[in-house]
Amino acid sequence: MITFLLLFLATVLPTTQAIQRPRSILVAGSLNADTFLPVARFPSPGENLTLLQNSEHLIDVPGGKGMNQAIAASKLCKRTGSGESIKASFLGQFGNDGAASILRSALIENGVDISLCGQSNHPSGRGYVMIVPQGEVSAVISGGSNQFGWDHYYDELSDQDIEDVIRPYSLVQLQCEIPHHVNLRLAGAAKRLGVTVMLDAGGEDRMMGRDILECCDYLVPNESELERLSSYFEGDDIVEEGIAEKMEKMQSLLGPDIDAGLVYQRVSLLQNNGANNVLVTLGARGSILFKKQRSTAADKTNIIYQSACCLPQGSSVIDETGAGDCYRAAFAVSLMEQCTGDVDVVDDDDTLRKCMKFASAAGAMAVTKKGAVPSIPSRDVVEELMVWNDKKSIELATETVPRGGMKRSDDDGMDDDFPFMFGSRLNSMKDRQDLLEPSDKMLSPRDFVRRQARIKGLGCVDFNYPQHFHDWTPNEARRALDEAGLVAGAVCLRYPSKFARGAMNHPDPTMRREAIEMTKDAAEVAQILGCDEVVVWSAYDGYDYPFQVNYKEKWSQLVSAFQECADAYPDIKWSLEYKPTDENTRFFTVASTGAAMLLVKEVDRPNFGLTLDMGHMLMSGENPGQSISMVGDKLFGIQLNDGYTRLAAEDGMMFGSIHPSMALEALYQLRVNNFRGHLYFDTFPQRTDPIREAEYNIQRVKDFWRAVGSMDPDEISRIAAEHDALGSLELINEALRQ
Ligand SMILES: *[C@@H]1O[C@H](CO)[C@@H](O)[C@H](O)[C@H]1NC(C)=O
Ligand SMILES: *[C@@H]1O[C@H](CO)[C@@H](O)[C@H](O)[C@H]1NC(C)=O
């Protein structure tokens, strides 16, 4: 018995040890010799056309999705300098004619390993592409060896044989230009071996059943392919709760041409029928990855959006052929590069987004040149474009679905449709220590974070800089957040008292410089903490008496300081939190929402905006809803609280406690504005249990949010059209009664 067991183990072990396989990509698919025929118009039946005079017609240009993707993978793998590159191999069937040698050379020249390729008794696959002067294209494809060269995959080869082919690889990439049966066998073998499978839905219009969908880790359709594939299945409408809200946000990222809800519905239909991760490419509108797992870690949405990469300066769209192939190959390469050590499956949202970003950049480069293979960029060029895009960062707010703006799944599971994450003032954790166990002292930010973690429904922590970083490092803070199951929301400037005469407005240039550098340091801290917001509230930038400062000079100091910060950290959302007055500074340089908007215009940077604080708005005599509306998409942050609005008294009362109707309208305006940040309670419980106080605030906001949702938009429009005072009060009463 024991001998038998040992023998058994001996035969099994070699395969189980193969986990540490070298990362390499196998692209299996088609290769074509394409002929491009420029014609004046498409021929009608029975008609013979000649090619356009003086036009460039190209014969035997290498193409075919398999070959394009193999060459793209190979070129994109190649790193200059140190670091081992991933290898790309191609499995295809060469034809028996002259074109085969052209295709073979193209693969070899681009570093693709072709040792697995076969040689069939059929002519090479060919594409005849007619192009009319308006740019429209019509093609005839002759499948040749792509279609008929795979006979051995029907009978001759056993499952074992196919597994032996695939075993050395860590990812298999397929498209739909070779027989479905071959794809199914390759995908099946890969699945059995635990090798990642990516299937490009492009190529032949064919139904994909559960059998193949289940084998693919990534199904990659474009919009029309998604529509086609899902049309083979019948299913219910949107099932998941709270998804409308999520897709509403997605919709604002995608623009009006694409129906985000429909995309979601189609993906769900495929996933209900066996598909795993579905990566939908949307050309210039970017791409969306719908992960199969819809509910893992807190704050993860499992829907990842990546905008399209901007084209390099001075270039434009020349030819979109092959851009999709490039995207797919680049995604595969990037995915395999993330598999290091014993990591075989990449699941982390940030890492996946990185892969999508790299893929977008590769796809963008591919549209700037004519042809499929000739337009495939090298890795260096793609990386250069990524750096340039990061610098440019024009789509800062739309690049990702911001973490803070999306749902965090709470253990109570009661707020499925609430779209924001909550944060609450960290320093309020020092209040009411009498409620704690004697051993449970609140001495350091670490203790505060630990206490905040007890707040039900809280998702993120906003830190003050440098105030909260005197006795631990940002890395330690991040670890503490991880342990507490929280994330960082923002880093907020708290200039120390040596800046009492001014921070960015200090009369001494050396001190001003120091304040600006300190402000930039906060961005470094934010990056380590994993958040992208820095909120600047300066207690000291302002004055107390007439003639005390030169207003124009103070103003322009702020403009240039914020420009410097925004340019130095283009990935950070910088926002000013204005305040009208307080005991440190009777008149702030920026003292109202209107003045703050003027500053935003003069700073004129896409990553500079405002954080509005309810109490500050009330204190400066504003109605918060109106101010939020005025700030529009420049609103990066919101701090919720309430107050009695006695001059210069920042009461920090609980949300909606004093001005419920204004609180209701503020949330309504956040909704109209499509606000995407997190909600932060800047309150001062002091004599109240700060845990219960935060939980009350959270509940209050959720109730008000629901009330906003219950309001009839037609009625709101009617009231506004008629300036109907009584109508507005009745609307508020009705909403708050719920
Ligand atoms: C068109 O060209 C084909 C191929 O040369 C030839 O067989 C056919 O007769 C031509 N038809 C006409 C209408 O000229
Ligand atoms: C999707 O890709 C196919 C080629 O694979 C192309 O013909 C089609 O136009 C694309 N659809 C969209 C919406 O771009």
CA end-to-end distance (rounded Å), the chain: 72
* Residue 554 labeled ligand binder: no
Tell me if 303 sits within 8 A of 280, measured CB to CB: no
Q: What is the mean pLDDT of the segment spanning 360-372?
A: 88
Cα angle value 487/310/638 (rounded, 5°)? 35
| Residue 64 Cβ < 6 Å to ligand 2 | no
**Interval 632-681: pLDDT, tens:** 999 999 999 999 988 878 899 999 999 999 999 999 999 988 898 999 99
CA of 222 to the centre of ligand 2 (A): 6
Share of the chain above pLDDT 90, in %: 69
* 147 CA from centroid of ligand 1 (Å): 28
Task: Please tell me the distance from the alpha carbon of residue 291 to that of residue 280, in angstroms, as a whole number.
Answer: 11
CATH of domain 400-710: 3.20.20.150
Which residue's CA is minimally distant from atom 4 of ligand 2?
202
Statement: residue 724 has pLDDT above 50? yes
Ligand 2 geometric centre to CA of 45 (Å): 26
CA 372/CA 64 separation, integer angstroms:
9
The reply to whether domains 23-394 and 400-710 share a CATH topology is no
Please report, rounded to a whole number, the percentage of residues in the chain having pLDDT higher than 70: 90
The domain segmentation of the chain, as residue ranges, is 23-394, 400-710
d(CA 208, CA 201): 9
Q: Of 154-158, 292-296, 443-447, which gets the smallest average pLDDT? A: 292-296
**For residue 419, what pLDDT is reported?**
85
Interval 686-701: pLDDT, tens? 999 999 999 999 999 9
Calculate mean pLDDT across residues 500-509: 96
pLDDT at 297 over 50: no
How many angstroms separate the CA atoms of 474 and 524, rounded? Answer: 9
**Catalytic residue (one of 325, 532, 541, 642):** 325
Distant-in-sequence, close-in-space partners of 105: CB < 8 Å, separation ≥ 6:
none
Does the domain spanning 23-394 belong to CATH 3.30.70.20? no
Is 324 within any annotated ligand binding site? yes
pLDDT exceeds cutoff 50 at 401: no
Locus of tokens 């109490």 = 615
Tokens of 401: 């679905």
Higher pLDDT, 506 or 443: 506
Q: For residue 406, what pLDDT band results from cuts at 50, 70 and 90?
A: very low
Tell me the average pLDDT across 444-448: 93
Q: Which atom of ligand 2 is nearest to the CA of 222?
A: 1
Quote the CA–CA distance of 139 and 204 in Å, as a whole number.
Answer: 13
Burial zone of 414 (CB within 10 Å; 0-12 exposed, 13-18 middle, 19+ buried): exposed
Considering only CA atoms, which residue is closest to atom 5 of ligand 2? 202
Distance CA 112, CA 90 (A): 7
Cis peptide before 14 (omega within 30 of 0): no
DSSP state of 155: T
Query: Under a CB-based contact definition with an 8 Å cutoff, are residues 470 and 496 in contact?
Result: no
Is 325 a catalytic site residue? yes
User: 48 C-alpha vs ligand 1 centroid, how far in Å?
Assistant: 6
* Residue 223 CB–ligand 2 contact under 6 Å: yes
Give 145-159 pLDDT, tens digit per residue.
999 999 999 989 999
Bigger pLDDT: 650 vs 247? 650
**402 pLDDT exceeds 70?**
no
pLDDT of residue 236: 65
Highest-confidence range of 230-244, 248-262, 715-729, by mean pLDDT?
Answer: 715-729
Look at residue 33 in the predicted model and tell me its pLDDT. Answer: 95
**Residue 608 and residue 572 in contact, taking contact as beta carbons nearer than 8 Å:** no
Residue 475 Cβ contacting ligand 2 at under 6 Å: no
Q: Is pLDDT at 620 greater than 50 in this prediction?
A: yes
Higher pLDDT, 250 or 552: 552
Let me know if 37 is exposed, middle or buried by CB neighbors in 10 A (0-12, 13-18, 19+). Answer: buried
Tell which one of 68, 224, 228, 230 to mutate to probe ligand 2, the residue whose CB is within 8 A of the most ligand atoms. 224
Q: How far apart are CA 413 and CA 480, in angstroms?
A: 24
Residues 37, 128 contacting (CB under 8 angstroms): yes
pLDDT digits (tens, 9 = 90+) for 78-134: 776 656 678 899 999 999 999 999 999 999 999 999 999 999 999 999 999 888 887
Query: Does the structure show a pLDDT above 50 at 397?
Result: no
Dump pLDDT digits (tens) for 168-181.
999 999 999 999 99
- What is the Å distance from ligand 1's center to 46 Cα? 8
CA atoms within 13 A on the CB side of 583: 2
Weakest mean pLDDT among 12-21, 461-470, 484-493, 556-565: 12-21
Out of 129, 222, 327, mutate this one to test ligand 2's pocket (max ligand atoms within 8 Å of CB): namely 222
Single-letter residue type at 364 = A
Q: Cα separations (Å) of 426 from 210, 447, 462, 653, 691?
A: 50, 10, 7, 15, 11
Mean pLDDT along residues 239-260: 75
